Each structure stands twice: as structure tokens, then as C-alpha cells.
Chain A
């Protein structure tokens, strides 16, 4: 089955760190650019960043730049995002997403999401 499965969410104190993982199965991860998006009830869907197919290039949203880092290990079919210096406003469900291709650029596969709660 073609799917993405996130893990690693939880409760963390402000200023803390967390590493989220996304396991890909049923397709060749190395062929796709991958993205992270988060969702909060108040602010809807917010794009966090992306990584190119071979992992040599990343782009992070301004709100997380310098605090979050996206990486991947294609040999292990895994995408990751390191969350540092967490703030209350980072509380959200985090989704990993597959982008269709560089031409069409839509998100055709989503994980089920993992919840991150930043609270003292």
C-alpha cells in the first residue's frame, strides 16, 4: 500500500526539541520532493518546508527558519523534521506530504499526521 506514516509527536515544553519521522512505503521515496505542513484549528493549513528528491536542497518557511530542519534518508525510505526552540504557536498536527512532480507540484499523498503540543 502506498502510504506515509508519521511518528514522534508528543508534548514538549517551550524551548524544547522534538524529531518527527515519516516512513514511506509502497513507492520509491527517492523520486519525489517531500514537504511538511502543519494544521492548527485557528490558522488552518500552514506550509512548513520542503526537501528535494536527493536531499541536497531544502526550503523552510520564514516562521520556522533556523529552528526546524528537514532531512531525508532515501536508503531507509524516511523523511524527518527536527523541531528546535519550540514555541506554543508551534502546537499543531504535522503532516508529511509527497509532491506529485516538478511540473504539477500538487500534494497527492498525505500522512495521517502527528500531534505536537508545546506547553509548560
Chain B
């Protein structure tokens, strides 16, 4: 199975900050990397697919990059609704796998 390792596991930030989360795959996944966020008590929501394509309706302050094994999610000008847990997920092959999550907390 392809392992996805996110870093950091958690981070503290304030509204307005620019933050970056990384996701490293145990083998190449081309650009089949998706990003989700999950607010407490809610289902995850798709933010970015194929590493860098913004899902319809998602704010342009979210951006993604990378290919092969190394990927990043960047959030510009963090907003109150962005405090959540972020997950990467590979759709290159079965079984689909997720990173362990990055919790973005209020500093």
C-alpha cells in the first residue's frame, strides 16, 4: 500500500497567516493527490484534486502543488473557517490511502 506522510501533524496559527502543509508519498503517485479538510463533527470536504486543481466553489486562498512523491497545500490569509484538520489522499492506485492528518489550531 502507498503510505502518505503529512507534516506537521499539527500547527498553531492566527487569522491572516499563510500556512503550508506537506504530504510525502512512499512511491510515485504522479499527480493523483487530493486535499480535504474536515471541521469537527462534519464530513471531509474536497479542496484540491490532481495536486493543483481547485475544486469548484473552494476559495482561491487554497492552492496545491507537487508531483511524484512530494506535495504541498498552501492556505493564504487564513480565515476562521479554515481552522480544521487537513488530509491528503492518493487516487493513483487501490487501496486508496490518506495521510494521518494535520490539525490547524488557533494560536
Q: Which residues of A contact B (CB under 8 A)?
A: 35, 37, 44-47, 50, 59, 61-62, 95, 99-100, 104-108, 110-113
Can you name 24 A-B pairs with beta carbons within 8 Å? A35-B96, A44-B87, A44-B100, A44-B101, A45-B89, A45-B101, A47-B95, A47-B97, A47-B98, A59-B94, A59-B95, A95-B43, A100-B49, A104-B50, A105-B49, A105-B91, A106-B91, A107-B34, A108-B46, A108-B49, A110-B43, A110-B45, A112-B43, A113-B43
Could you say which residues of chain B place their CB within 8 Å of the CB of A100?
Answer: 49
Q: How far, in angstroms, from A100 to B96 measured CA to CA in the complex?
A: 14
Please give me the 6 A-B residue pairs with the lowest Cβ-Cβ distance, nearest first.
A105-B91, A106-B49, A110-B43, A47-B96, A45-B98, A106-B34
Contact of B43 (CB < 8 Å), options: A35, A44, A50, A111: A111
Q: Does B44 contact A (CB under 8 A)?
A: yes
Contact of A105 (CB < 8 Å), options: B32, B97, B101: B32
Could you say which residues of chain B place their CB within 8 Å of the CB of A45?
Answer: 44, 87, 89, 98, 101
Q: Does B36 contact A (CB under 8 A)?
A: yes
Q: Which of B9-43 contact A (CB under 8 A)?
A: 32, 34, 36, 42-43
Are the C-beta atoms of A62 and B95 separated by less than 8 Å?
yes
Which residue on chain A has the smallest CB distance to residue B48? A106
Q: A1 to chain B: closest CB distance in Å?
A: 14
Q: B86 to chain A: closest CB distance in Å?
A: 11
Which residue on chain A has the smallest CB distance to residue B32? A105
Given contacts A95-B44, A105-B91, 7 further A-B contacts (CB under 8 A): A44-B100, A45-B98, A104-B91, A105-B49, A106-B49, A106-B50, A106-B55
Q: A110 to chain B: closest CB distance in Å?
A: 4
Most chain B CB neighbours (cut-off 10 Å) among A99, A110, A113: A110
Q: Which of B63-100 contact A (CB under 8 A)?
A: 87, 89, 91, 94-100
Q: How far, in angstroms, from A110 to B44 measured CA to CA in the complex?
A: 7
Q: A37 to chain B: closest CB distance in Å?
A: 8
Are the C-beta atoms of B98 and A46 separated by less than 8 Å?
yes
Are the C-beta atoms of B89 and A107 separated by less than 8 Å?
yes
